Amino acid sequence: MEQTGFSGTLEKIDDYRYRIPKGYKPEMRVPGLIYADEQMLALIKKDNTPLQVANVACLPGIIKYSLAMPDIHWGYGLPIGGVAATDIEQGGIISPGGVGSDINCGVRLVRTNLFLKDVKDKLPMLINNLFHNIPSGLGSKGMIRLSTKEELDVLVNGAKWAIARGYGVKEDLLHTEEGGAMAGACPDNVSRKAMERGISQLGTLGSGNHFLEIQVVTDIYEAEIARVFGLEKGQITVMIHSGSRGLGYQICEDYLQSMGEVARRYDIFLPDRQLACAPFTSPEGKIYFGAMVCAANYAWTNRQCLMHLTREVFKQVFGMKSSELGMDLVYDVAHNIGKVEEHEVDGKMIKLCVHRKGATRAFPANHPVLPEDYKSVGQPVIVPGDMGTASYVLVGTSLGMRETFGTACHGAGRVISRTAAIKQARGRAIDRELGEKGIMVRSAGRETLAEEMPEAYKDVTQVVNILCQAGIAKRVAKLKPLGVVKG
């Protein structure tokens, strides 16, 4: 039976960790672990998110903990900011609700050779040109037209498809998670409706919290790591946040509808029907995974195309060559995905299905999957704030690898719903308010600005501080927004 509120006691482990004891619900297989300080915990408890953390702890095959990052808030089944790793060989499941609706929604950070003095006078032209050249908003369609054959190619080869057609350079793939294409894609598992939704949306930003942001690096905390990432104080960067668009949403919707029956077939107890799932090794689990990988690969292609379009706008506005602009990809990370990874648990290497929903992979130095130039320092972790606040670049740690399966937060995390934000913003001009702070904003709709107003989000600096004080990530650089294009 579904419950409507969390009534348990959270055990304080230390100033940044709180445990939901395994006995809170009789069906819990592992405890819950929430990363928060006392102030953040009050916000987390307010929307009953610990209940979802406890529900996830009931899933078959889950190991160690049902984890919650400090940006956690209420989601569909698995909370946004939640992490669940299941043991594939011991009946571990895969859940569409545990991956999320916008499969491989993620963030891409691009460095440049430009500094604040170079862009100050050209910022209005830059933001306007980006807004006009990069389609945004609900249902937006792009200029990159695909045939059915090409779309199938995108689903299998991901960002490699874009590079082969001149939408970027091969070096971009080195700094993209999974090289921009995850293995295991099966286009046969993608519905015709999903294909129809995806065929015209490549190279589009989308709506909601998706954005393209021009930023300046204001602070460097780890000089050597920042140097390796190509970041320095006063430098201009570009952050791109988008996902798999209508194709990913449709794949999630298709499989959510069928998974409830699948869970019953395998006699899986669901404390919340939104956690509908299948054993990873079952035919149904494999079919969903094959479709999910297709959406993930589409998303990496989409962000690759968005970066290419952004580079083209910069070349036009500044009249400079690519080599002069130095617009190199720092990194691209996914934050709505299920990954097959090997992790050490109790001294043994175990193959897991790691669900990261509104959470970002954060592998430490010397991990074998990292690109050679980052091996000595670790994986860049990109944490965007809201339109009016800073974003951060972090790096993974060995403690984070042991404790969270190499995971960090994905952003600030909502504190009020979109509906509540629109209500609170009534009578206000959010674009003008941001303009008074020196931040230029262009959006496809005024309602989007209301939904995404700064007050709708937690304090990203506090979120990042919790991660760093807990030792599961390390702060590298701080980025301040100058101009934002919203979906």
Q: Which residues are catalytic?
A: 410
- Strands 440-443, 473-486: parallel, antiparallel or unpaired by DSSP? parallel
DSSP, res 176? B
Task: State the first-to-last Cα distance of the chain, in angstroms, to the nearest integer.
Answer: 38
478 forms bridges with which residues in the sheet?
219, 392
- Strands 440-443, 380-383: parallel, antiparallel or unpaired by DSSP? unpaired
Q: How far lies 58's CA from each of 187, 224, 309, in Å?
A: 31, 43, 44
354 forms bridges with which residues in the sheet?
85, 339
- CB neighbour list of residue 296: distance below 8 Å, 6 or more residues apart: 103, 104, 158, 178, 182, 244, 334, 337
What is the strand order of the sheet 80-87 is part of? 11-14, 17-20, 32-35, 66-73, 80-87, 348-357, 336-345
**79 in helix, strand or coil?**
coil
- Strands 66-73, 32-35: parallel, antiparallel or unpaired by DSSP? parallel
How many Å apart are CA 69 and CA 440, to the nearest integer?
30
How many Å apart are CA 345 and CA 454, to the nearest integer?
39
Are 247 and 191 in contact by the 8 Å Cβ rule? The answer is no
Backbone angles phi, psi at 408, to 5 degrees: -135, 180
